[in-house]
């Protein structure tokens, strides 16, 4: 049974305004009356509506989070980091999944605005680095009139704080590792090249290949979109072509899964038939015993940092814009090598 303020007032035999003063800790209430109301609340396990409180007090303790892929391990860990800090500060979290859909993003922003969230952490559907989509998002974010932190994907000429990853350097290092292992024909399954993170990782690959004087073979550049399905189809194509690169770079955890799925289907062995290294960790592969090497970011820490930036912005709305670039770490497990 859901208890309302009116129910509490009836059970305690007091007015609704008295109950409201106790709940909001505002105004004088006699000690005996306060205790009577608190006992009714405890006995009936009453939880006041966060939305109602924000409306009555004209403030909110709710944080909005909008992510593009709720089923992606990376964003799951980001939410874990955000939630840790939210819980420490006795705040409430509402998160929305856009499924990389512009319309869902608009709806999520409208809903969070109606909920009067205190702040927002947002990973845009894409970087909005072009045309009307960029202008539209910027205006909607400005209209919210709340502190905002962008995470993982940015907005061109942003006025908001951001927490990002060293995308170029991570891909450069992954390529460098394969080069130093002696691989000559190094390919890549790119991410979505409409996204800046996809572009930067691809540029990191190209940069390392050029710096080390390696031949860049166009046939070994496979344009993906960060999805399992696309990586799987691309991997099948180059396996069936019988012209395998010596080694391949997969540009995110989902791309890695698609690549591994194709290898398994064609009975190819990682580290024997083809070497590989990926960007982003993948717990599923660890559980299944694949010794897959990768360059990773600490997604949980990215969530924590984003939430801390938001808290700092609450304290000082006029402080200079902050952009945090999270470092990467290399985990070599053997798949970068070619073992005959």
Residues with pLDDT less than 70, the chain:
1-3, 24-26, 45-59, 127-131, 340
Task: Specify which residues 248 forms β-bridges with.
Answer: 187, 276
Q: Indicate the fold that domain 5-48 takes in CATH.
A: 434 Repressor (Amino-terminal Domain) (1.10.260)
pLDDT of residue 250: 98
Per-residue pLDDT, 22:
76
Tokens of 265: 């289907």
| DSSP string covering 205-240 | HHHHHHHTT----GGGEE---S-HHHHHHHHHHHHH
pLDDT given at position 1: 46
Domain boundaries, the chain: 5-48, 62-165+299-327, 167-296
Q: What is the pLDDT of residue 137?
A: 87
Global confidence as pTM: 0.78
Question: CA–CA separation, 63 vs 313, rounded Å?
Answer: 13
Q: Do domains 62-165+299-327 and 167-296 have the same CATH topology?
A: yes
How many CB atoms are closer than 10 A to CB 139? 9
- Residue pair 190/230 in contact by the 8 Å Cβ criterion: no
pLDDT at 24: 66
Condensed to tens digits (0 to 9), the pLDDT of residues 125-181 reads: 875 455 677 778 888 899 899 999 999 998 888 899 999 999 999 999 999 999 999
Q: Does domain 167-296 have CATH number 3.40.50.2300?
A: yes
pLDDT at 15: 87
What pLDDT shows up at residue 227? 93
Class of the CATH-defined domain 62-165+299-327: alpha beta
């Amino acid at each position: 049974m859901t208890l309302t303020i009116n129910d509490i007032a009836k059970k305690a035999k007091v007015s609704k305004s008295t109950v409201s003063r106790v709940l909001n800790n505002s105004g004088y209430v006699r000690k005996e009356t306060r205790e009577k109301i608190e006992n009714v609340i405890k006995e009936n396990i009453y939880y006041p509506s966060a939305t109602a409180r924000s409306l009555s007090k004209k403030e909110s303790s709710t944080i909005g989070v909008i992510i593009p892929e709720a089923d992606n391990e990376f964003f799951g860990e980001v939410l874990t980091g955000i939630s840790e800090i939210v819980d420490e500060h006795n705040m409430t979290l509402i998160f929305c999944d856009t499924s990389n859909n512009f319309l869902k993003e608009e709806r999520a922003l409208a809903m969070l605005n109606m909920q009067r969230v205190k702040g927002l952490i947002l990973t845009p559907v894409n970087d909005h680095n072009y045309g009307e989509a960029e202008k539209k998002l910027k205006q909607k974010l400005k209209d919210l009139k709340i502190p905002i932190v962008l995470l993982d994907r940015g907005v061109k000429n942003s006025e908001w704080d951001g927490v990002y990853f060293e995308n170029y350097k991570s891909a450069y290092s992954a390529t460098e590792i394969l080069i130093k292992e002696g691989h000559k024909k190094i390919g890549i399954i790119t991410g979505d090249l409409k996204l800046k993170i996809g572009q930067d990782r691809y540029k990191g690959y190209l940069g390392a290949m050029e710096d080390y004087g390696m031949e860049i073979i166009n046939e070994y550049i496979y344009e993906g979109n960060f999805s399992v399905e696309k990586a799987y189809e691309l991997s099948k194509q180059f396996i069936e072509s019988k012209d395998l690169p010596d080694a391949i770079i997969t540009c995110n955890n989902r791309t890695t899964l698609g690549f591994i799925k194709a290898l398994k289907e064609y009975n190819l062995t990682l580290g024997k038939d083809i070497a590989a290294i990926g960007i982003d960790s993948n717990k599923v592969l660890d559980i299944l015993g694949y010794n897959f090497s990768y360059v990773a970011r600490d997604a949980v820490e990215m969530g924590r940092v984003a939430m801390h930036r938001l808290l700092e912005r609450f304290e000082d709305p006029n402080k200079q814009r902050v952009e945090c670039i999270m470092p990467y770490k290399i985990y070599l497990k053997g798949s970068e090598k070619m073992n005959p």
